[in-house]
Structure 1
Amino acid sequence: MSSPSGTVLTGGSSCRMASWTAQRCRSTSPERSQESNYGYDPFGLGKKPEDFAKYQAYELIHARWAMLGAAGAVIPEACNKFGANCGPEAVWFKTGALLLDGNTLSYFGNSIPINLVVAVIAEVVLVGGAEYYRIINGLDLEDKLHPGGPFDPLGLASDPDQAAILKVKEIKNGRLAMFSMLAFFIQAYVTGEGPVENLAKHLSDPFGNNLLTVISGAAERTPSL
């Protein structure tokens, strides 16, 4: 987890920093009381309270999707690289191309009978339906962004102080995940490879495969789609 100064924190120091941040947030103005908000708003997007609440929701939702997306981009490719059978194309930007070509997905040797039409309909119905239900507050939740209750089956946020710490951790890790997804997009475009393959090549030859060699064109590029 990153601190306000950008230092990476681990273990007990991470918990202490999150606790300090949560306490500091609760003791400041209403806008600054939000999790991991340090008042850095050079474009003034959050000056109006209604705009602040809207952008806070946008950020948190995108952060959660980014965390899921980052895991989904790395895990299948890593499993494939280290012996698991996640299909011939477990790289995140090539998986969708299989559906565009009329093929089916295959994970751990099992074919999944799904095509592009079914995938789109399922996403629209499930994700769109859940998002609509959240917007209209169908469950009558006091906090639509952190509902708790059935959405916290392990009771991790049952204690208010612990909940404040977890909220800070969530948004900070979500911000890192959004930057990670941006890096994955750029990597795919520039190198034609997934993040795991990029990392493996860099570790095998740090001086021959790095940002500078890629920019200069010295590193070998894999043709993309």
Structure 2
Amino acid sequence: MALAIGRSFTFQPCSLFSNKGVDKTSPVGKYSWLGSDAAAARAGVTQRRRQISVAAQQRPTWLPGLDPPPYLDGTLAGDFGFDPLGLAEDPKSLRWYVQAELVHSRFAMLGVLGILVTDLLRVTGLSKIPVWYEAGAAKYEFANTGTLIIVQLLLMGFAETKRYMDFVSPGSQAKEGSFFGLEASLEGLEPGYPGGPLLNPLGLAKDIKNAHDWKLKEIKNGRLAMVAILGIFVQASVTHVGPIDNLVEHLSNPWHKTIIQTLASSTS
């Protein structure tokens, strides 16, 4: 029996309950009582959710077997689901935290490199430079301390202001006339990833949208550098020497000059 509704279509009540030819074990068969189109749509949603759930379980997390928070979906470089304090729940805050981590990572990498190189030059006697934590108190012949501080504030303040403005309005700092006609030399790729021949002379990751591997390598090295710089701060506070001095002392007697003995002797 068919009931005609207007002239557009016919409605067959028995079709709602007719499951002939439908595999009840399939996603469509499970929802066949909704009708073929609704069942297919419902089955598609269920399948997509299942795929997302499987992908979330398969992606690496900071603790194996841990379910990452739903707002950390793995799309960010270095996202391993670590957010015990829930700081990234707000999308706006998450954008800022990503940029803050990038900047801290880059400063940490530069800091570790600078400390190790200058400490190596000092220990080997190639240069008479002070240990890194006393370098700020040293007097330099080419400029006095006040001049150096003012120049650093001006240069870093200008760079950080430009970076913040680009974060607030992506691409605004690449517009013509925004940097004395030198915009093409900087050519920002996206917030946090400047480019151009000055800041990206090797031309790495020009297609920043598809540079996930490069971003992942940078953030991993940056996080390692932040842990390393913290370790350097702690060893300087405990031993009052540079990291190369500590390494040389350890290598001179590896079984008795370790971090355990060093901490024990410093507290006694």
Q: Which has the higher contact order (CA 8 A, sep 6+)?
A: 1
Correspondence 1:1-225 to 2 at 5 A: 32-85=74-127, 87-89=128-130, 91-98=131-138, 103-104=139-140, 112-137=141-166, 138-140=173-175, 141=188, 143-150=190-197, 151-159=199-207, 163-217=211-265
Cα deviation code 1:9-29 (max 9, x no counterpart): xxxxxxxxxxxxxxxxxxx97
Q: Is the 8 A contact 2:232 2:243 kept in 1?
A: yes
Q: Is the 8 A contact 1:32 1:39 kept in 2?
A: yes
Aligned positions, number = 184
Q: Give the secondary-structure state (helix, strand or coil) at the position aligned to 2:193.
A: coil
Q: Which runs of 5+ in 1 are unaligned?
A: 7-27, 105-111, 220-225
| 1:139 shift after superposition | 2.4
Q: Is the 8 A contact 1:62 1:178 kept in 2?
A: yes
| 1:210 shift after superposition | 1.2
| 1:142 shift after superposition | 5.7
Q: Give the secondary-structure state (helix, strand or coil) at the position aligned to 1:146.
A: coil
Q: Is the 8 A contact 1:31 1:49 kept in 2?
A: no
Structure 1 residues 160 and 135, CA gap change in structure 2 (3 angstroms): closer
Question: Match for 1:42: what amino acid?
Answer: P
| 1:115 shift after superposition | 2.3
Q: Give the secondary-structure state (helix, strand or coil) at the position aligned to 2:211.
A: helix
| 1:42 shift after superposition | 0.5
Q: Give the secondary-structure state (helix, strand or coil) at the position aligned to 1:62.
A: helix
Identity %: 35
TM-score of the superposed pair, with normalisation by structure 2: 0.62
| 1:48 shift after superposition | 0.9
Question: Match for 1:52: what amino acid?
Answer: L
Q: Is the 8 A contact 2:62 2:82 kept in 1?
A: no
Q: Is the 8 A contact 1:63 1:177 kept in 2?
A: yes
Structure 1 residues 200 and 45, CA gap change in structure 2 (3 angstroms): same
CA radius of gyration, larger in: 2
